[in-house]
């Protein structure tokens, strides 16, 4: 997020998000990822990690609602969607979405997942981000450590489920990438077009959980 609010408000993506009713411009990163990898294919049970202010939850709900209509066929289908969003900070309510204010790296959070979803998840999204110190090296190491803790939650994914997670580019990312390869058949890294050029954020996409 930019430190200059006046500059932020002049940003075309920010203005577009406001016009389209999204809580943040980050919505377009998720939409870019969806266009490229179709991560939401047959996704109804969705967990969003690090959700504040909630634009990814808005996108997830739109696509899950479309999926209820789109995939009425003999293949995998659920009759309703379930979406849960979690953050350390308070998330403003969104209709039909379960919201939790909690540290996603705790055992208590895992208990919340089990009690809300009566079956395994189809998709996990993580845009969770550490509080940056400004030191790229330290921030990258801390973000990778957060990613490693979040990766544990993929045990709640169904077989063939999908996962995306925000990471920061740097040396340690290879360590995380290797761990992802143990869990998913296909692993890719991607910087969405709508991600600011001056950030080192990158998304790691895990498709087809083993």
Ligand X SMILES: C[S@@+](CC[C@H](N)C(=O)[O-])C[C@H]1O[C@@H](n2cnc3c(N)ncnc32)[C@H](O)[C@@H]1O
Q: Which is nearer to ligand X, 78 or 94 (CB)?
A: 94
Nearest to 165 by CA among 203, 200, 130, 201: 203
Of 128, 147, 153, 164, the residue at the interface with ligand X (CB under 6 A) is: 128
24 sits near ligand X (criterion: CB under 6 A): yes
User: At closest approach, how far in Å is the CB of 21 from ligand X?
Assistant: 13
127 sits near ligand X (criterion: CB under 6 A): yes
| Helix H or strand E segment including 149 | helix 136-151
Q: How far apart are CA 109 and CA 113, in angstroms?
A: 6
Site for ligand X in 133-162 (CB under 6 A): none
Beta bridge partners of 184: 209
Beta bridge partners of 207: 186
200 sits near ligand X (criterion: CB under 6 A): no
56 sits near ligand X (criterion: CB under 6 A): yes
- Measured from the Cβ of residue 68, the count of other Cβ atoms closer than 10 Å reads 14
State the catalytic residue, choosing from 89, 101, 132, 166.
166
Of 3, 89, 159, 197, the residue at the interface with ligand X (CB under 6 A) is: 89
Q: Which is nearer to ligand X, 145 or 208 (CB)?
A: 145
User: At closest approach, how far in Å is the CB of 154 from ligand X?
Assistant: 16
β-strands 157-168, 201-209: how paired?
antiparallel
| Helix H or strand E segment including 4 | none
Beta bridge partners of 45: 82
Transcribe 83-124 into DSSP letters: EEEEESSPPPP-TT-EEEES-TTSHHHHHHHHHH-SS-EEEE
User: At closest approach, how far in Å is the CB of 73 from ligand X?
Assistant: 31
124 sits near ligand X (criterion: CB under 6 A): no
Q: Which is nearer to ligand X, 105 or 208 (CB)?
A: 105
149 labelled catalytic: no
User: At closest approach, how far in Å is the CB of 50 from ligand X?
Assistant: 3
Q: How far apart are CA 45 and CA 29, in angstroms?
A: 20
Q: Which is nearer to ligand X, 88 or 111 (CB)?
A: 88
* Residues designated as active site: 166
The contact set with ligand X (CB under 6 A) reads 23-24, 26, 50-56, 86-89, 103-105, 127-129
């Amino acid at each position: 997020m930019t430190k200059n609010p006046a500059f932020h408000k002049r940003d075309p993506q920010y203005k577009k998000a406001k016009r389209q009713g999204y809580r943040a411009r980050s919505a377009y990163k998720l939409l870019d990822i969806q266009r490229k990898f179709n991560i939401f294919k047959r996704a109804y049970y969705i967990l969003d990690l690090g959700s504040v202010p909630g634009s990814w939850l808005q996108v997830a709900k739109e696509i899950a609602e479309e999926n209820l209509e789109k995939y009425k066929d003999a293949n995998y289908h659920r009759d309703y969607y379930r979406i849960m969003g979690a953050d350390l900070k308070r998330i403003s309510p969104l209709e039909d979405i379960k919201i939790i204010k909690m540290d996603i790296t705790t055992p208590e959070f895992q208990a919340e997942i089990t009690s809300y979803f009566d079956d395994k998840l189809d998709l996990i999204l993580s845009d969770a981000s550490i509080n940056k110190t400004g030191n790229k090296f330290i921030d990258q190491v801390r973000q990778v450590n957060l990613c490693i803790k979040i990766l544990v939650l993929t045990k709640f994914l169904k077989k063939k489920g999908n996962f995306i997670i925000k990471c920061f580019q740097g040396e340690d990312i290879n360590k995380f990438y290797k761990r992802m390869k143990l869990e998913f058949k296909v692993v890719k890294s991607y910087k969405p077009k709508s991600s600011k050029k001056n950030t080192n954020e990158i998304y790691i996409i895990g498709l087809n959980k083993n």
